[in-house]
């Protein structure tokens, strides 16, 4: 994880440098604020990942020579086909259109959004119960 | 849910049996497989490209004659606005980070899927629906947005651009922007957390590196745009005065906000395609990339610098710190120069195979060097005073952007098409596709440099016969038709490969990276087995052990014990 | 990196040799040409016609010549690589070269130097072009609006203004005298663009911009709007007449009455 954190930290510290030069030189506010935000966007995740990288075991993807015991086990859980991202997308789109064509679009859209939220939650619950280790 | 085990190295994989996936239309809508979503993105982006390209041909037709009457002034303004917006927001970006990255990144780093597959699916729908929304503007009574893709306030505010067209434009770009942010989150997370064992950061293929940096740039840039759009919408409808002088607002702030998004955006569009070129030039030269770490640091340097140069689009506003922005803008030439020289040095001493993909890649370098050189000129404020908002700038950014998105993009399509579909595209037709497009490209844009220097502003629908612009404009129009024919040849090629498939093997190009170690098209969750990853070129190491990058591992007899 | 660098790698050394010879020549060429950019072609640009525009023009020439060098070397190397190393006949696996630190440093440092030279001349010309005279001979207030221009000479109380389609206003300037312009916009962003003076500047609402022109020749020019500003953006033209000071005075008198 060390290098991941360095990517963010490198970009973040570059923005700090640019920010200091820019602000001292120009005293212009819009750009300085944007650069400050960008510096934060680089430094915050960088520091967080760096903080974790000291507290976790080295992952198999970070070592040059992989031992056989590193390459067995669970990668993660991946979902099956699901309709709810589509539902959520349509909902968000209708809410977006409400900004152009009027509020009634948002009412339909929010229906889709809440439908998707409920559906996706139930689906995840069902799926996680179907996994062996989650069965009670 | 499918629980995935790590695929075993060099042995048959253990993928738990899956429920039978649905087929047809329902599968297309519901699939969370990064390969399906990636392909959806590509087809959608290419469709938008053809629509926006048709608009470009209409624009060029209007300019064929002075005082042209092909379209009305209002329609012309709508056309170039939507042409630019579609090409930049709906084609170039999503084509790269939605299409290529989605499909290729998990394969290249040995991951079973993206980190957030359902979010991935959502961002495709936001992109498709948001993109179509932009076209709705043409069907409203007052027409589509007509203020250029940069939407400079106060021209984009309610008094000067009334009607639903601009609002549709705002909503469309906000939705597409969210889709881009989601995709970026997905990409960065995937690259950080789902790499295969042994795939350290400095063994990642350069395309993956480019996409990682692109993802970070998207996270920096797109929220600024979304925020600016919210402010603009509030100005238009809620009587806010962020950008109107009358209410104490600052119109120039729009330009600051927009270009703080807009300039990183240029590199969001370019970096993925640099990555594609960095992948396929080594493969077709049969040599590793020349100076891998140099390329990685050049990519990071471009990311940093590109965010510090937004105001070089605003030199002529008289409100920005010229020496600062011109220095940083000129400095960007250094990492991009490193990239170009690296590509040349990679080809040097190689065994270059000139198939269609490599032709497009080399065509890209030519176009990009030309666009880059004129970019250095524009980084100098006095020269920018002279050429700003003229056809010189138009030619410059078309050369850079068509160079990257079309030439490098098509190089990528011809290169990865066998992996996407298990088929080849037709080589002969592909070469025609390249040459017609390439020659048309130079005929279209070289005259535009001269037009700009002779004083033709951009975004004008008519010019006078006495201006002396006629001949150069006609030449440019003829060139653009040639490019149109070139694109049509691609479509033909695509249809031919669809109707009469020619199967390609799993690794037709003798590729270097992990995506060539799996079948074409890849199975669900990508890998049944992974080769051992001991260098940046695992597939090459496996296929050419005598020329492998990796020194054979000595691990105290562990491996022989297996 | 650099694992395969060593003896028997003559191709990369070839690059280095070419680069070592051409690099300094390019650098000297850039500097020399920028300094004495007089007898070289215009490369499609206007010569400026004002003192300010003329220095922009010379900077343009310098940049163009530098581009010819840099672009020429790059294109030549690229073409050479394509011609020399295309696969002929049976494919063999070439030597696997991973890099060469010296060459990489070389092609990093040389662009930095070139860019530094370009930046030096840029700043010089930029200061010259942006200088506003403390006591100008003439002040002109320019206002951009949808879709036209208003030129107001405060010293004389003379105004010319766009009166409709094809009725463009005239900006009359005396030759050899420095005129300071005060540029604003009434509504949206416009671009005050004088192609033959090698200059443009945004007319922004809420921002006042100042700049100087010192015309060198008597001639007639056409000015335009460069920043897209709405429906009739293409029609925002204005005439610029650079005349002798006496002609200028008579023009002023003729317009003061009306």
| C115-128 confidence digits (pLDDT tens) | 999 999 999 999 99
The Cα–Cα gap between A45 and A43 comes to 6
Mean pLDDT calculated for residue range B511-525: 90
Domain extent listing, chain A: 2-63, 84-134
- The residues, any chain, with a CB within 8 Å of residue C82's CB and separated by 6 or more, are B347, B352, B354, B362
Count the Cβ atoms, other than its own, within 10 Å of residue C240.
20
Mean pLDDT calculated for residue range C68-73: 93
User: Could you tell me the pLDDT band of residue A61, with boundaries at 50, 70 and 90?
Assistant: confident
Say which residue the tokens 């343009």 belong to. Answer: C60
For A10-46, how does the pLDDT look when each residue is reduced to its tens digit (9 = 90+)? 999 999 999 999 999 988 888 999 999 999 999 999 9
CATH superfamily of the domain spanning B31-557: Cytochrome c oxidase-like, subunit I domain (1.20.210.10)
Mean pLDDT calculated for residue range C177-206: 94
**What pLDDT shows up at residue C6?**
36
Domain extent listing, chain C: 10-130, 138-257
Q: Which chains pack against C, by 3+ Cβ pairs within 8 A?
A: B
The phi, psi pair for A82, rounded to 5°, reads -150, 145
**What pLDDT shows up at residue C27?**
54
Mean pLDDT calculated for residue range B113-134: 94
**What pLDDT shows up at residue C92?**
83
* pLDDT surpassing 80 at residue B324: yes
Contact C53, C45 (CB under 8 A): no
Interchain CB distance below 8 Å, B4 and A76: yes
- DSSP-H helix ranges across chain C: 10-35, 51-84, 101-130, 245-257
Query: Closest Cα partner for B279 from B339, B333, B197?
Result: B339
Interchain CB distance below 8 Å, C234 and B73: yes
The Cα–Cα gap between A120 and A125 comes to 9
- Of residues B50 and A134, the one with the higher pLDDT is B50
* pLDDT surpassing 50 at residue B123: yes
Mean pLDDT calculated for residue range C227-232: 92
Which architecture does CATH list for C138-257?
Sandwich (2.60)
Count the Cβ atoms, other than its own, within 10 Å of residue B490.
23
Interchain CB distance below 8 Å, B1 and A49: no
Interchain CB distance below 8 Å, A26 and B195: no
* Helical pair A84-101 and B117-136, crossing angle rounded to 10 deg: 30
Tokens of residue B386, six digits: 């002279």
Q: Hey, of B341, B361, B369, B459, which one would you mutate to test binding to chain C, going by the most C CBs within 10 A of its CB? A: B341
Query: Closest Cα partner for B388 from B450, B455, B337?
Result: B455
Residue percentage of chain B with pLDDT more than 90: 77
**What pLDDT shows up at residue A80?**
80
For B358-405, how does the pLDDT look when each residue is reduced to its tens digit (9 = 90+)? 999 999 999 999 999 999 999 999 999 999 999 999 999 999 999 999
User: Could you tell me the pLDDT band of residue A2, with boundaries at 50, 70 and 90?
Assistant: confident
Nearest-Cα residue of chain A relative to residue B173: A96
The Cα–Cα gap between B325 and B293 comes to 27
- Asked if B248 reaches chain C (Cβ–Cβ under 8 Å), the answer is no
Query: Closest Cα partner for B140 from B173, B118, B166, B160?
Result: B166
The Cα–Cα gap between B93 and B54 comes to 19
Alpha carbon distances (Å) from B388 to B286, B415, C210: 43, 37, 18
Chains A and C: 3 or more CB pairs within 8 Å of each other: no
* pLDDT surpassing 60 at residue B262: yes
Identity of the residue in B362, B380, B462 whose CB atom sits nearest the CB atom of C82: B362
Contact A84, A26 (CB under 8 A): no
**What pLDDT shows up at residue B100?**
94
- If you count residue pairs, one on A and one on B, with CB atoms under 8 Å apart, how many are there? 200
For B170-192, how does the pLDDT look when each residue is reduced to its tens digit (9 = 90+)? 999 999 999 999 999 999 999 99
- Of residues C35 and B439, the one with the higher pLDDT is B439
């Amino acid at each position: 994880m060390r290098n991941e954190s360095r990517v963010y930290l490198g970009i973040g510290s570059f923005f700090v440098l640019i920010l200091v030069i820019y602000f001292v030189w120009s005293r212009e506010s819009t750009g300085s604020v944007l650069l400050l935000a960008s510096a934060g966007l680089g430094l915050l995740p960088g520091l967080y990942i760096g903080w974790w990288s000291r507290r976790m075991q080295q992952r198999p993807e970070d070592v040059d020579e992989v031992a056989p015991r590193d390459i067995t086990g669970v990668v993660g859980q991946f979902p099956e086909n699901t309709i709810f991202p589509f539902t959520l997308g349509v909902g968000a789109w209708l809410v977006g259109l409400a900004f152009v064509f009027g509020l009634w679009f948002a009412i339909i859209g929010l229906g889709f959004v809440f439908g998707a939220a409920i559906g996706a939650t139930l689906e995840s619950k069902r799926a996680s119960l179907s996994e062996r280790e989650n069965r009670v | 849910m499918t629980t995935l085990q790590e695929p075993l190295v060099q042995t048959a994989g253990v993928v738990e049996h899956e429920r039978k996936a649905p087929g047809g239309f329902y599968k297309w809508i519901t699939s969370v497989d990064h390969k399906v979503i990636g392909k959806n993105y590509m087809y959608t982006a290419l469709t938008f490209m053809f629509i926006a390209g048709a608009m470009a041909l209409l624009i060029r037709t209007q300019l064929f004659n002075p005082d042209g009457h092909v379209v009305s002034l209002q329609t012309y303004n709508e056309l170039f606005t939507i042409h630019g917006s579609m090409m930049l927001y709906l084609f170039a970006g999503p084509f790269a980070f939605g299409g290529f990255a989605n499909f290729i990144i998990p394969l290249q780093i040995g991951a079973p899927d993206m980190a957030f597959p359902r979010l991935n699916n959502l961002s495709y729908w936001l992109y498709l629906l948001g993109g179509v929304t932009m076209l709705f503007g043409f069907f409203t009574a007052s027409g589509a947005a007509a203020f250029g893709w940069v939407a400079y306030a106060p021209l984009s505010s309610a008094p000067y651009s009334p009607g639903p067209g601009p609002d549709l434009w705002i909503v469309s770009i906000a939705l597409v922007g969210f889709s881009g942010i989601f995709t970026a989150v997905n990409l960065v997370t995937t690259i950080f957390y789902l790499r295969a064992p042994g795939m350290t950061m400095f063994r990642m293929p350069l395309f993956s590196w480019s996409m990682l940096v692109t993802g970070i740039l998207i996270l920096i840039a797109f929220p600024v745009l979304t925020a600016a759009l919210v402010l603009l919408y509030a100005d238009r409808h809620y009587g806010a005065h962020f950008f109107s002088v009358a209410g104490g607002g600052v119109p120039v702030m729009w330009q600051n906000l927009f270009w703080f998004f807009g300039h990183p955006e240029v590199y969001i569009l370019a970096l993925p395609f640099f990555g594609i070129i960095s992948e396929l030039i080594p493969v077709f030269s049969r040599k590793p990339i020349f100076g891998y770490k140099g390329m990685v640091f050049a990519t990071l340097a471009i990311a940093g610098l590109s965010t510090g140069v937004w105001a070089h689009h605003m030199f002529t506003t008289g409100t920005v710190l010229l020496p600062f922005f011109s220095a940083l803008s000129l400095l960007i030439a250094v990492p991009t120069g490193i990239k170009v020289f690296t590509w040349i040095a990679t080809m040097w001493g190689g065994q270059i195979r000139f198939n269609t993909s490599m032709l497009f890649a080399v065509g890209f370098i030519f176009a990009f060097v030309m666009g880059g050189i004129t970019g250095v000129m524009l980084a100098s404020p006095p020269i920018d005073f002279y050429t700003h908002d003229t056809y010189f700038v138009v030619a410059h950014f078309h050369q850079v952007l068509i160079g990257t998105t079309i030439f490098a993009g098509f190089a990528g399509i011809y290169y990865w098409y066998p992996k996407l579909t298990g088929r080849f595209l037709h080589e002969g037709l592909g070469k025609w596709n390249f040459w017609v497009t390439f020659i048309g490209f130079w005929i279209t844009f070289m005259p535009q440099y001269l037009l700009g220097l002779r004083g033709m502003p951009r975004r004008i629908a008519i010019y006078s016969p006495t201006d002396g612009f006629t001949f150069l404009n006609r030449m440019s129009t003829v060139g653009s038709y040639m490019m149109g024919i070139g694109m049509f040849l691609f479509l033909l090629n695509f249809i031919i490969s669809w109707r009469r498939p020619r199967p390609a093997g799993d690794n037709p190009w003798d590729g270097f990276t992990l995506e060539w170690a799996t079948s074409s098209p890849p199975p669900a969750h990508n890998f049944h087995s992974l080769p051992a990853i001991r260098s940046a070129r695992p597939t090459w190491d496996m296929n050419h052990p005598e020329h492998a990058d990796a020194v054979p591992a000595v691990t105290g007899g562990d491996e022989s014990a297996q | 990196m650099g694992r395969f660098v060593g003896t028997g790698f003559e191709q990369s050394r070839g690059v280095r040799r070419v680069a070592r010879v051409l690099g300094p020549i390019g650098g000297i060429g850039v500097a020399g040409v920028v300094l004495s950019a007089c007898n070289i072609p215009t490369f499609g640009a206007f010569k400026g016609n004002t003192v300010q525009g003329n220095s922009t023009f010379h900077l343009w020439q310098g940049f163009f010549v530098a581009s010819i060098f840099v672009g020429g070397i790059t294109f030549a190397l690229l073409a050479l690589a394509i011609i020399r190393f295309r696969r002929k006949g049976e494919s063999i696996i070439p030597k696997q070269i991973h890099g060469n630190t010296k060459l990489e440093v070389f092609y990093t440092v040389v662009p930095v130097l070139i860019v530094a030279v370009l930046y030096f001349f840029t700043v010089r010309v930029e200061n010259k072009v942006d200088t506003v005279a403390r006591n100008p001979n003439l002040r002109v207030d320019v206002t951009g609006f949808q879709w036209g221009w208003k030129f107001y000479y405060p010293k004389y109380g003379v105004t010319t203004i766009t009166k409709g389609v094809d009725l463009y206003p005239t900006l009359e300037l005396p030759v050899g005298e420095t005129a300071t312009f005060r540029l604003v916009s009434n509504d949206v962003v416009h671009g005050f663009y004088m192609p033959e003076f090698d200059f443009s500047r945004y007319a922004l609402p809420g921002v006042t911009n100042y700049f100087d022109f010192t015309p060198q020749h008597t001639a007639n020019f056409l000015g335009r709007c460069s920043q897209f500003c709405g429906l009739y953006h293409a029609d925002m033209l204005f005439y610029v007449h650079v005349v002798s000071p006496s002609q200028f005075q008579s023009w002023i008198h003729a317009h003061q009455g009306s």
